[in-house]
Structure formats: C-alpha cells, structure tokens
Structure 1
Amino acid sequence: MRYLPLPLFLLLSVGGGGLIGLAVETGGWYADLAKPSFNPPDWVFAPVWGTLYIFIGFAGWRVWRSGLGAAHKLWWLQLALNFAWPPVFFSAHTLGAALIVILALDAAVVAFMAATWRTERISALLFLPYLAWVAYASLLNAALWWLN
C-alpha cells in the first residue's frame, strides 16, 4: 500500500511537466530572442526536465509517505511555480514576470530542501540537481530579460 501512490506522484510531475511542455509554443518567438553565450541547445531541455520531474515525483512521494506536512506543502508550492513558469515565459512573453516566478521557484526549492534535510535527506538530495538547473535557468531568464 505504501508504494501505490508512487505512480501517481510520478504521473503528476512527469505527466504534468510534459503536458505543459506540449501546451506552450517555444519556437518562433523564442528563436528570435537575443541569447547569451551560455544558452544551451534546444535538445538539452527535454532530457534534463524529464529526469528532474522523475526526481521531483519521487521526492514528493517520499515526503507524503513520511507525513512531513510543511515539506509537503512546499513540494506543492514548487510544483505550482514550476508549472506556472512556461506559460508566463513562453505564452505570455513576459520575461520580467517569468523571472519573478522562477526566483520564487528557486526559493521554494531551497525551502523544501531545508525542510527535509534532517528528516528526509533523500528527498532533499533528489532536489539538489533540480536546484542547480533552476538556478541556471534563473540566470538564463535574467540574461534573456536583460538582452531583450
């Protein structure tokens, strides 16, 4: 019974992220933006996010299973911010607003890691690559805002 919700957490994180990725158009407008020298090639994003969404789903399930209410709320907050960023950036084309969303996401990821570090260390460690990528994405978002 304790493993039964795991596929639901994975479906929510991986499936939700995938659906949002399919729902936002990332081609023409984004292709025309001035980009910084550290902008990765487009093919990098799908495998990185796919892997991160698996880690996010596992961490969410572990925290839910552990009964860590505050950490679980932070998990939901980071997921909401994660899912909010692509439409703000790619659909609304509001780089400044997207920067605010992704900086809030950075803070939520750090807060989740702090909340789980002592009692659910594996979940905190699962978020470490996520934090690195979101920090990089924040820098990229800021550079795109600055250049455009």
Structure 2
Amino acid sequence: MLIHVVGFTAFPHLGGFFGWFLTRKEVPTWFESLNKPSWRPPNKLFPVAWTTLYSSMGYASYLVWKDLGGFNSNAVVPLGLYGAQLALNWAWTPIFFGAHKLKLALIDIVGSYGLVESTMYSWYPIKKTATILMVPYLT
C-alpha cells in the first residue's frame, strides 16, 4: 500500500529535520570555526546526501517490514536494530552541533555504525535489496 511506502520512507526524515531545526544556527557559527580537512564536501551537499540516505534507509525498512508481514515477532530483531541505529543517528546532531560534545558524538557514531552493520546482517536473509540500500550509509 502506498501509504506504508511513503510513511516508512519519510519516517527517518522526522528525526533528521528535528535535529537540524534544533541546531541550525550552530553551522554558520560554531561549526564553521572548526578546522576541517580540505577534502570535506561543501555544506550545501549535506542536505542532498542526507535526504538520499534517509529515504534509502526508510524505504529499505519498508521492504523488510513488508517481507516479514508487518510488525510481529519475526520483526522484533531486524526492525529493532534498525530503530536503535536510527535513534543513535538522530542523537548525533544534537550531541555534536548542539552540545558540542565531540567525544560523545564519536562514541555515538561508532555505536551507530555497529548497529547499521548489525541491521544489515539481520536484513540480508530477509531482503537483500534492503541490505544493499543501507550500504551508502556506511560510507
């Protein structure tokens, strides 16, 4: 059903938008004052990249949900891991940009990376396409 596709695909954007809204004034002030590597992409590419990543992971979660027959006992681990990695993903922006806690943000991103890998591992036997849709998030 189209409503499910749209809902699952849009869901990750909610936390991303909320984090951006809370910390949007920190980019032109605090963040721009940090020393960054010369190879860092320009700021205007980040919204495009995150829109793509959030849409991809959201759609992937829909594919897993659909193949598992909805939220049931079979979905607890694969969708629970997805939810946990998404929560850490959403937490990173307020930790890094809002609280300026660089070490805590690093811990968060390492945990998130591990949960993304675990999510992908749990999704692979269910829906390989969903697993592939998560690969760009690891890069």
1:81-136 deviations in Å (ceiling 9; x for gaps): 1100000000000100000000001001100111111221111000001111xxxx
Considering only aligned residues, what root-mean-square deviation do their CA atoms show, in Å? 1.4
CA distance, structure 2, for counterparts of residue 34 and residue 127 of structure 1: 30
> TM-score w.r.t. structure 2 length?
0.87
CA distance, structure 1, for counterparts of residue 86 and residue 46 of structure 2: 17
Aligned-pair CA distance for 1:7:
1.6
CA distance, structure 1, for counterparts of residue 137 and residue 90 of structure 2: 14
Aligned to 2:48: 47
1:102 maps onto 2:109 in alignment:
yes
1:36-70 deviations in Å (ceiling 9; x for gaps): 23322111100000001110110111122222331
Aligned to 2:16: 17
Unaligned 5+ segments in structure 1 are 133-148
CA distance, structure 1, for counterparts of residue 10 and residue 42 of structure 2: 27
Aligned to 1:27: 28
Q: Give the AA of the match of 2:9.
A: L
1:117 maps onto 2:124 in alignment:
yes
Aligned to 1:136: none
Aligned-pair CA distance for 1:5:
1.8
**Runs of 4+ residues deviating >4 angstroms:** none
CA distance, structure 1, for counterparts of residue 66 and residue 87 of structure 2: 20
Bigger mean CA offset, 91-100 vs 20-29: 20-29
For this pair of structures, how many residues does the alignment match? 131
> TM-score w.r.t. structure 1 length?
0.82
CA distance, structure 2, for counterparts of residue 127 and residue 37 of structure 1: 27
Unaligned 5+ segments in structure 2 are 69-74
Aligned with 1:34: secondary structure?
A: coil
Aligned to 1:76: 83
Aligned-pair CA distance for 1:18:
2.3
Q: Is the 8 A contact 2:22 2:98 kept in 1?
A: no
